[in-house]
Amino acid sequence: MPHFFIPPENIAGNKFTLTGDEVHHLIRVRRCAAGATIQLFDGTGKTYNARIDEIEKNSIRGTIINETSFAPPRVRLHLFLSVPKGERFDWMVEKASELGVHSITPLVTSRSIIKNIEPPKLERWKRLSMAASQQSRRPDIMAINSPQHFPAAIAQVSRQTVNLIPWEAEEAKTLDEYAPAISGASGVTVFIGPEGGFSADEIRQAEDRGLMPVTLGKRILRVETAGLLAAILVLNCAGEFR
């Protein structure tokens, strides 16, 4: 059944109105007609089975058949991710959304290659996040936050969450060692550095703020590989794949 996003304000009682790009996709790509059944999600954890009643040029109106509410993940994973060159961040946004990451914040560090992130790129990542929710039938949408510089980012981290910073120079502590803390936490924050890694000074700043350096193994990983691996390990510790 086709799965489409609808803003919550476009639902009134048992009636809905679809507008924008979703209308074009339903009519031109899916070739849906009046009477067809579709699935809607509002980005807040609710999905709806619905019937199309009326199709106009720029809108679709219909009736909600039933509603399902999904409980949010018990552990919310927040990724602060340095932006690599090219389109690799696009891929990371898509995969993180599919896995169930709660939010991504583009991170600017002292060694970042990409230091200026234009608004159009941020909007593109938000669209990719929504599209990944549609593809994976995720009932909510992974948030894409405004970019932050490293000092400001670590300053906002709560000491009530588990806060990790993978670092290639850390050889002793593995992420698995924090599994009990992760499984009992309401939130986990992970910082992923740029191609050149975090500087020693940044690691000292992070430790002063309560972040814990961990190793992701013996190999030097690309930004998107490290981010994906960290997300999988954290969410597995949190029991999200059971």
The string of DSSP codes covering 80-126 is EEEPPSTTHHHHHHHHHHHHT--EEEEEE-TT-S-----HHHHHHHH
pLDDT along the chain (242 residues), means of 10: 85 93 80 89 92 91 93 90 93 96 97 91 96 90 97 94 96 93 94 95 97 94 96 94 84
Three-class DSSP category at 192: strand
Look at residues 153, 135, 133 and name the one whose alpha carbon lies nearest to residue 145.
153
Taken in order 82, 87, 91, 97, the sign of the CA dihedral is: positive
What is the 8-class DSSP label of residue 177?
G
pLDDT of residue 58: 87
CATH class of 3-69: mainly beta
Q: What pLDDT does 42 receive?
A: 92
Distance from C-alpha of 141 to C-alpha of 102, rounded to nearest angstrom: 8
Per the structure block, which two tokens stand in for 26? Answer: 């339903």
* Fold match flag (3-69 vs 76-237): no
pLDDT at 2: 64
Residue ranges per structural domain of the chain: 3-69, 76-237
Q: Which residue has the tokens 């992420």?
A: 175
Q: Is residue 192 a contact partner of residue 166, using CB atoms and an 8 Å limit? A: yes
Model confidence, pTM:
0.88
Q: Quick one: pLDDT at residue 100? A: 94
| CA 158/CA 210 separation, integer angstroms | 9
What CA dihedral angle connects 85, 129, 77 and 99, to 10 degrees? -100
> Dihedrals φ, ψ of 240, to 5°?
-75, -15
Looking at domain 76-237, its CATH superfamily turns out to be SPOUT methyltransferase, trefoil knot domain (3.40.1280.10)
Burial of residue 221, with CB atoms counted within 10 A of its CB: 0-12 exposed, 13-18 middle, 19 or more buried: middle
Token code pair at residue 220: 């030097």
